[in-house]
C-alpha cells in the first residue's frame, strides 16, 4: 500500500476521516521506525469489507457500521440484511426464487472472531435469515436450526413472518413450471449467494452468508451456504472465506475451510481460492462446464482474493475509502 496515496484518498472520503486516528498513529510510528512498514501497511488496510457479487449498497452499510466503531460481526450481519431486504435480488431473502413447489426457503449462517457460529436452513417466511442465524449462535446452545423449528424460534425472538414470494418471483416460477426443467444456471441473475467478510479496526474478522438457494430446487434441498466450513469459514488467526455458486460442489470439497487452511499454510488469499477451485474442476468426471462456483477470501493482513470457475463472477471490496466491484479471474478460459 502506498501510504501517501492512502492519505490522499483518505482526505477525500468519509472512510479516511473515520480512520484518521489510525492514520496519524501510523504516520508517527513510521517516522520513529521507518523499517516497520509491514505493521503500518496492515493498519492502513483496515477496516475492510468484501462481499460476493456486485453489492455496493451492502458493503456501504457494513462499512458504515465499522466506521462508527462497530465490530465485524455487526457489519456483516447488517451488510447481508441489505440484500435480504432487496426484493430485486432473486437469490437472497425476500423476492428469492422458490423451490419447485413455489416455497421460498432461505439458508444462512454467521461466524464470529471466536469461532462461534449459527445457521438456519430451510427457513420460510422470515426475510432476515442471517439475523436468525445470529440469534441461534448467541441465544441457544446449538449451531443450526431447520425448517419449522427455525421459523418458530425466529418468531419467538420477535421476527415478523411475511410472504417472501414476490409477484416477480412467482411469475418466473410459473414460467419455469411450463417445462419444469431443472438445471443450475451459471451466474443466475448475476447474483447468487451473498457472502460477506469484514475486518474491524481491532483487526478481528467475522463473516456471514445468506441465500434462497438454487431456484426451483427439490423441496427440502439445502446448499452450502448455511454449512460452516463449506459456504463460510472464519479463523481469526488466519482469515476468512465465503463461497457462491452450486452448493453441492462446495460441500463436496468443504471449500471455505479448505481456503482458510491453505492460507494458514502460507498461501495468499488469491492462491488459496485458485487451489480450492482446482480441487473442484480437476475431480475425475467433473462436470464443471455446467456450473459456477466462486470464492472470495481475506487474510489477517487485509489482503484479499477471489476466483471462480467461469467468467463474470465478481467481488465488491470496500477498503481505504474505495467501494469497488472487482471482476474475478477464472478457470475456464478455453
Q: Which of 129, 137, 208, 214 binds ligand GLY (CB under 6 A)?
A: 214
Is position 213 an interface residue for ligand GLY (rule: CB under 6 A)? yes
Which one of 193, 210, 304, 316 is the catalytic residue? Answer: 193
Is position 246 an interface residue for ligand GLY (rule: CB under 6 A)? yes
Residues near 299 by beta carbon (within 8 Å), at least 6 away in sequence: 238, 239, 263, 268, 269
Burial class (CB in 10 A: 0-12, 13-18, 19+), 209: buried
Q: Which of 83, 125, 224, 235 binds ligand GLY (CB under 6 A)?
A: 224
Is position 105 an interface residue for ligand GLY (rule: CB under 6 A)? no
Is position 294 an interface residue for ligand GLY (rule: CB under 6 A)? no
Is position 193 an interface residue for ligand GLY (rule: CB under 6 A)? yes
- Contact characters 138-177, ligand GLY, x per CB under 6 A: ----------------------------------------
Is position 245 an interface residue for ligand GLY (rule: CB under 6 A)? yes
Is position 59 an interface residue for ligand GLY (rule: CB under 6 A)? no
**Based on CB atoms, which residue is closest to ligand GLY, 56 or 248?**
248
User: Cα–Cα distance between 266 and 272 in angstroms, integer?
Assistant: 9
Say whether 13 is catalytic: no
Is position 292 an interface residue for ligand GLY (rule: CB under 6 A)? no
**Based on CB atoms, which residue is closest to ligand GLY, 66 or 276?**
276
Query: Residue 224 CB, nearest distance to ligand GLY (Å)?
Result: 5
State which of positions 311-330 bind ligand GLY (CB under 6 A).
Answer: none
Catalytic residues: 193
- List residues binding ligand GLY (CB under 6 A): 192-193, 211, 213-214, 223-225, 244-247
Amino acid at each position: 500500500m502506498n501510504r501517501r496515496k492512502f492519505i490522499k484518498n483518505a482526505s477525500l472520503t468519509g472512510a479516511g476521516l473515520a480512520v484518521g486516528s489510525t492514520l496519524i498513529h501510523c504516520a508517527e510510528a513510521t517516522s520513529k521506525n521507518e523499517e516497520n512498514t509491514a505493521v503500518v501497511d496492515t493498519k492502513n488496510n483496515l477496516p475492510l469489507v468484501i462481499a460476493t457479487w456486485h453489492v455496493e449498497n451492502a458493503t456501504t452499510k457494513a462499512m458504515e457500521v465499522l466506521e462508527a466503531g462497530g465490530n465485524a460481526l455487526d457489519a456483516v450481519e447488517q451488510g447481508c440484511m441489505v440484500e435480504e431486504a432487496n426484493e430485486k435480488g432473486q437469490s437472497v431473502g425476500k423476492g428469492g426464487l422458490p423451490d419447485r413447489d413455489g416455497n421460498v426457503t432461505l439458508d444462512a449462517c454467521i461466524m464470529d472472531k471466536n469461532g462461534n457460529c449459527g445457521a438456519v436452513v430451510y427457513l420460510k417466511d422470515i426475510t432476515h435469515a442471517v439475523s436468525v442465524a445470529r440469534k441461534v449462535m448467541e441465544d441457544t446452545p446449538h449451531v443450526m436450526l431447520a425448517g419449522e423449528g427455525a421459523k418458530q424460534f425466529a418468531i419467538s425472538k420477535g421476527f415478523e413472518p411475511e410472504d417472501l414470494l414476490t409477484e416477480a418471483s412467482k411469475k418466473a416460477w410459473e414460467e419455469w413450471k411450463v417445462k419444469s426443467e431443472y438445471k443450475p444456471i451459471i451466474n443466475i441473475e448475476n447474483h447468487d449467494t451473498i457472502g460477506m467478510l469484514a475486518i474491524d479496526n481491532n483487526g478481528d474478522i467475522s463473516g456471514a452468508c445468506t441465500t434462497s438457494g438454487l431456484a426451483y430446487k427439490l423441496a427440502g434441498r439445502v446448499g452450502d451456504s448455511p454449512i460452516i466450513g463449506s459456504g463460510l469459514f472464519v479463523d481469526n488467526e488466519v482469515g476468512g472465506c465465503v463461497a457462491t455458486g452450486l452448493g453441492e460442489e462446495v460441500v463436496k470439497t468443504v471449500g471455505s475451510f479448505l481456503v482458510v487452511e491453505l492460507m494458514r499454510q502460507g498461501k495468499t488469499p488469491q492462491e488459496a481460492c485458485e487451489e480450492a477451485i482446482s480441487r473442484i474442476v480437476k475431480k475425475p468426471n467433473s462436470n464443471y462446464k455446467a456450473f459456477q462456483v466462486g470464492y472470495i477470501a481475506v487474510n489477517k493482513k487485509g489482503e484479499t482474493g477471489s476466483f471462480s470457475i467461469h467468467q463474470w463472477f465478481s467481488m465488491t471490496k470496500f477498503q481505504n475509502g474505495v467501494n469497488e466491484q472487482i471482476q474475478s479471474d477464472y478457470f475456464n478460459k478455453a
